[in-house]
């Protein structure tokens, strides 16, 4: 691997570690590890800023050649996502009790809670940020300056498809979050299951949306890819977030909370878990 690419990952890694450490300090002060959720989107914005720095100073040293427009589009989309997500979670969680996941860990970890929180929540989250954001870092490093760009039909197809996939994902995540927030604000819905709007097509529109956006980012990053191996390593990022959302901290963990809930079990039978699909016949 090129030594300058290692420098690019190092700059992003150190910046993310500092960001996550500061988030941990805030979590200690507020006695609420839910701060990690708010810090998630902001961490990717920091990676975008570091990647832009690398793109401008380490790669395109001759600034008159200009920034790569596809890379600028890519980091703009990630920044929009990160700001929306962190802003939404800040408004939703800031003065609320600690999320049930973190509260359970606080009880399970006992006297080791602080160390395990730092290592297994904040630093692990930072490492995952780097893995998931690897298409951003690689794109920033390998993207040609504007003056040297020569796009083919394949490149334009990747750009158009990437934007479309990202927009679909952004719609499902943003609309899903908004509809769920409105549902929870109505006292009459306390204890009930949200199954309307986009939630009637997928039980987790926000998770599907986030995964889709990262696959869209992957497609945009492939514009600067060099061969099959480079494309495959860029796919590690979206594959990781998709696996996490499906099998680790997303669908699997959240649905374990509703085990034994008859209404949710009916919802599971009638509604797709992840990919939006028509509701099965007889659904409410």
DSSP 51-118: HHHHIIIII--SGGG---HHHHHHHHHHHHHHHHHHHHHHHHHTTSPPPHHHHHHHHHHGGGHHHHII
Contact call for residues 123 and 20 (beta carbons, < 8 A) = yes
In this structure, the number of other CB atoms found within 10 A of the CB of residue 167 comes to: 14
Kindly state whether residues 8 and 144 are assigned to the same domain. yes
pLDDT in tens, the chain (284 residues): 577 888 899 999 999 999 999 999 999 999 999 999 999 999 999 999 999 998 887 655 555 567 889 999 999 999 999 999 999 999 988 888 888 888 888 888 988 999 999 999 999 999 999 999 999 999 988 887 776 788 899 999 999 999 999 999 999 999 999 999 999 999 999 889 998 999 999 999 999 999 999 999 999 999 999 889 999 999 999 999 999 999 888 888 888 888 889 999 999 999 999 999 998 875 44
State whether 129 and 237 are in the same domain.
no
Same domain, 178 and 271: yes
Residue 76 dihedral angles phi and psi, to the nearest 5°: -65, -45
How many structural domains are present in the chain?
2
d(CA 153, CA 119): 46
Give CA–CA dist 134/144, Å, rounded: 17
Same domain, 18 and 128: yes
Structural domain that includes position 95: 1-148
The verdict on 76 and 33 lying in the same domain is yes
- Of 148, 168, 190, the last residue of a domain is 148
Same domain for 93 and 217? no
Residues 180, 43 share a domain: no
Instruction: Answer yes or no: are the C-beta atoms of 85 and 166 closer than 8 Å.
Output: no
Say if residue 6 is in the same domain as residue 99.
yes
- Among 101, 120, 148, the domain boundary falls at 148
Residue 283: predicted pLDDT: 47
pTM beyond 0.75: the answer is yes
For residues 142 and 230, state if they share a domain: no
Q: Which of 148, 168, 193 is the last residue of a domain?
A: 148
3 and 143 in a common domain? yes
């Amino acid at each position: 691997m090129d030594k300058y690419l290692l420098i690019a990952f190092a700059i992003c890694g150190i910046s993310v570690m500092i960001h996550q450490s500061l988030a941990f300090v805030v979590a200690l002060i507020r006695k609420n590890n839910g701060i990690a959720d708010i810090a998630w989107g902001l961490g990717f914005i920091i990676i975008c800023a570091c990647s832009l720095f690398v793109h401008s100073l380490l790669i395109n040293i001759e600034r008159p050649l200009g920034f790569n427009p596809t890379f600028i589009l890519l980091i703009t989309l990630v920044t929009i996502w990160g700001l929306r997500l962190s802003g939404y979670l800040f408004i939703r969680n800031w003065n609320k009790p600690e999320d049930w996941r973190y509260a359970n860990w606080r009880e399970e970890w006992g006297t080791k809670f602080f160390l395990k929180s730092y290592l297994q929540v904040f630093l692990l989250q930072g490492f995952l940020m780097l893995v998931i954001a690897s298409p951003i870092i690689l794109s920033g490093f390998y993207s040609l300056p504007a003056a040297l760009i020569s796009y083919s039909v394949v490149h334009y197809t990747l750009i158009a498809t990437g934007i479309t996939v990202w927009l679909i994902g952004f719609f499902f995540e943003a609309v899903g979050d908004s509809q769920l927030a409105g549902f929870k604000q109505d006292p009459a819905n306390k204890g009930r299951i949200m199954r309307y709007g986009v939630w009637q097509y997928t039980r987790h529109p926000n998770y599907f949306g986030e995964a889709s956006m990262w696959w869209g980012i992957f497609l945009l990053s492939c514009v600067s890819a060099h061969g099959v191996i480079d494309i495959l390593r860029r796919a590690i990022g979206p594959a990781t977030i998709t696996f996490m959302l499906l099998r680790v901290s997303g669908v699997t963990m959240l649905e374990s909370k509703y085990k034994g809930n008859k209404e949710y079990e009916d919802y599971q039978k009638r509604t797709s878990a992840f990919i939006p699909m028509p509701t099965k016949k007889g659904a409410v």
